[in-house]
């Protein structure tokens, strides 16, 4: 069973959600005004479970929207949108856990989601994500990076830039040896090792800022950790190399699992979604629990919705803005969230500027990410983002 938090932005949004469940028109008139607290969406419930869920939530003072086809004489499975205040949802959870197994599981899931929203997560990087937003500086040692255009291929330049980012306040430095920009071609393992290992060795001896390696290859990750890295940023969410999960477990380091639709070569060629945030949340839920099943510690798992990676942009659809506005839904899974919006194409499309003129737009997107629950920002402009995050953290906190 999969469920996640749903944020209602206005009455039209709430009505659209209920129409997707096939709620009666009369019921929508009653329930749409009730949808501006917390809404949790369940998928494919047995009809009797959905009816009990609705009855119990009404008894708690809230409501639940279910399909008209769940009730007799139809008796079909239904999605359900549970709506209520925090106290009503906690009360509902307690009422459901005393019933038969399927309904009790629904109660447990509600308690888990609400508990995730109420808790601060501690990253295994010596810092508490609940106290401040962490800034991850991007250091691409590739000749075809979309933003810095190969400035740091020469190791001496990369080390110099790492020192600059440390002085500017970076909490993590993310080093990548293979470009993941749209249309980028993969490089061989030996070339990736040649690019990243000397830089990590040099940087780890010069600065105290934790180092992350941006790779999906287990051998590169292990060699990087041996050279001084303390985190792995895997854009394939442990799908690119069957040995990666074991490497993370054995070395007991944090890993970031990212959503990407397709591969960098094809990800921007007509991606399609019915509900972009629901699909991202379900995908990352599955990948996080895969990681747990392979022995990776829960405290070592970070999730990234993959801004710009197989997301629609332009032509009246902007998935990346939708993701940032609904980021709290991903937060409901209970893991720290990393967002990488820096200088992405959607910012250029909105502002009408090229990549080297996207700082202000990036800061706007990143400020909203913090407000909606991001724990880590992966950025090119460390100093400016650090200062913005200090202000937003103060306001949000």
For 81-121, what is each residue's pLDDT tens digit? 999 988 899 999 999 998 999 999 999 999 999 888 766 55
Q: What are phi and psi of 44, to 5 degrees?
A: 55, 50
On the question of pLDDT at 124 being above 70, the answer is no
| pLDDT at residue 267 in the model | 60
Residues of CATH 3.20.20.20 domain(s) within the chain? 122-396
Query: Greater confidence, 280 or 14?
Result: 280
Query: Greater confidence, 391 or 116?
Result: 391
Of 183-192, 300-309, 362-371, the one with minimum mean pLDDT is 183-192
Q: Does domain 122-396 have CATH number 3.20.20.20?
A: yes
The residue to which tokens 């990352």 are assigned: 284
- Non-local (6+) Cβ contacts of 277 within 8 A are 305, 322, 323, 326, 329, 330
| pLDDT at residue 105 in the model | 97
On the question of pLDDT at 274 being above 80, the answer is yes
| pLDDT at residue 391 in the model | 97
* pLDDT tens figures, 347-384: 999 999 998 999 999 999 999 999 999 999 999 999 99
Query: Greater confidence, 150 or 162?
Result: 162
Compute the average pLDDT of residues 39-59. Answer: 97
- Non-local (6+) Cβ contacts of 172 within 8 A are 125, 134, 135, 136, 137, 209, 210, 211, 212, 231, 376
State how beta strands 231-234 and 211-214 pair. parallel
Instruction: Work out the pLDDT band at 127, boundaries 50, 70, 90.
Output: very low
Annotated catalytic residue, options 344, 383, 386, 394: 344
Residue 344 known to be catalytic = yes
Compute the average pLDDT of residues 157-172. Answer: 94
Query: Greater confidence, 22 or 11?
Result: 22
On the question of pLDDT at 307 being above 80, the answer is yes
* pLDDT tens figures, 218-244: 999 999 999 999 999 999 999 999 999
Residue 378 known to be catalytic = yes
Note whether 78 and 69 are within 8 A (CB): yes
What span, in angstroms and rounded, lies between the C-alpha atoms of 233 and 215?
6
pLDDT > 70 in the chain, percent: 91
| pLDDT at residue 34 in the model | 78
| pLDDT at residue 136 in the model | 98
158, two tokens: 């990369």
Mean pLDDT of the chain: 90
| pLDDT at residue 128 in the model | 43
Annotated catalytic residue, options 6, 161, 331, 378: 378
On the question of pLDDT at 129 being above 60, the answer is no
Instruction: Work out the pLDDT band at 153, boundaries 50, 70, 90.
Output: low
């Amino acid at each position: 069973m999969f469920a996640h938090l749903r944020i209602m932005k206005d009455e039209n949004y709430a009505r659209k959600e209920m129409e997707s469940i096939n709620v009666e028109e009369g019921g929508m008139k009653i329930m749409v005004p009730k949808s501006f607290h917390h809404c949790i969406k369940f998928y494919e419930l047995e009809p009797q479970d959905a009816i009990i869920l609705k009855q119990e939530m009404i008894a708690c003072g809230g409501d639940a929207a279910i399909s008209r086809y769940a009730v007799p004489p139809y008796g079909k499975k239904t999605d359900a949108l549970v709506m209520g205040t925090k106290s009503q949802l906690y009360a509902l959870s307690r009422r459901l856990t005393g019933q038969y197994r399927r309904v009790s599981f629904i109660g447990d899931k509600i308690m888990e989601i609400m508990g995730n929203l109420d808790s601060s997560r501690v990253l295994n990087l010596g810092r508490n994500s609940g106290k401040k937003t962490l800034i991850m500086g991007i250091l691409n040692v590739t000749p075809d990076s979309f933003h810095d255009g190969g400035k740091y291929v020469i190791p001496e330049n990369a080390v110099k830039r790492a020192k600059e980012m440390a002085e500017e306040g970076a909490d993590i430095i993310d080093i990548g040896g293979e470009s993941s920009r749209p249309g980028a071609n993969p490089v061989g393992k030996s070339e990736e090792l040649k690019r990243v290992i000397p830089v990590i060795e040099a940087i780890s001896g010069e600065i105290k800022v934790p180092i992350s390696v941006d790779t999906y290859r287990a051998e590169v990750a292990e060699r990087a950790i041996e050279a001084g890295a303390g985190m792995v940023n895997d854009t394939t969410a442990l799908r690119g190399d069957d040995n990666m999960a074991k490497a993370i477990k054995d070395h007991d380091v944090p890993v970031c699992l990212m959503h990407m639709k397709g591969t960098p070569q094809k990800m921007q060629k007509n991606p399609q979604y019915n509900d972009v945030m629901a699909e991202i949340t379900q995908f990352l839920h599955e990948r996080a629990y895969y990681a747990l099943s392979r022995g990776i510690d829960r405290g070592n798992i970070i999730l990234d919705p993959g801004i710009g990676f197989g997301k629609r942009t332009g032509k009246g659809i902007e998935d990346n803005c939708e993701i940032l506005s609904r980021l709290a839904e991903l937060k409901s899974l209970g893991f720290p969230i990393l967002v990488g919006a820096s200088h992405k194409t959607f910012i250029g499309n909105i502002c009408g500027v090229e990549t080297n003129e996207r700082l202000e737009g990036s800061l706007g997107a990143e400020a909203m990410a913090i407000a909606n629950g991001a724990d880590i920002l992966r950025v090119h402009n460390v100093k400016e983002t650090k200062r913005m995050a200090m202000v937003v953290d103060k306001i949000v906190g």
